[in-house]
Amino acid sequence: MTMDALFNFPKFPEAKCAGTGDFFFPDSQVQLEERLPRLLELCGSCIHRADCLDYSIENEIPDGFWAGYSAEERKAKFKNKEEKRTNSLREIVRQLSTGFTKEEIAKDRGIQINSLDRTLDRAKRKGLI
């Protein structure tokens, strides 16, 4: 995660967390537990909860309370995201090895060729190709 992701997250003026400062970033587990009822209340009624969670997972933000989830709760979601990505890479590699063209794979996945190329680069870095 880059610091830019933390400080440049989408701003929703009508979000429940707007103007709360660092309330969503407790300094300790004790502070988290003290704030938890209010955090859950704020996040639970926010219309941007799904976007907030997606943003924190996509950017792998390890700190703070996002969309009703603590950092520990989101770690499992980071892991699941990485497992899904790795499985997808393996499936693309399998398709290539069985004779599918890049164009066929991209069309099947609803993505552009350049996006597939970036995905294949990721597979190479992971040692899957």
- Could you tell me the pLDDT band of residue 17, with boundaries at 50, 70 and 90? confident
Handedness of CA 65, 9, 79, 49 (dihedral sign): positive
What's the pLDDT at 10?
Answer: 60
Is the pLDDT assigned to residue 6 strictly greater than 60?
no
Grouping H, G, I as helix, E, B as strand and the rest as coil, residue 66 is strand
- Residue extents of the structural domains in the chain: 3-69, 79-125
- Other C-beta atoms lying within 10 Å of the C-beta of residue 53: 17
Nearest of 71, 51, 45 to residue 11 by alpha carbon? 51
Task: Supply the DSSP symbol for 69.
Answer: B
> Would you state the structure tokens that stand for residue 32, as one six-digit string?
């988290």
- Residue 94 pLDDT exceeds 70: yes
Q: For residue 7, name the pLDDT band (cuts at 50, 70, 90).
A: low
Give tens-digit pLDDT for 36-88: 999 999 998 888 888 888 888 878 788 889 999 988 888 887 777 778 888 88
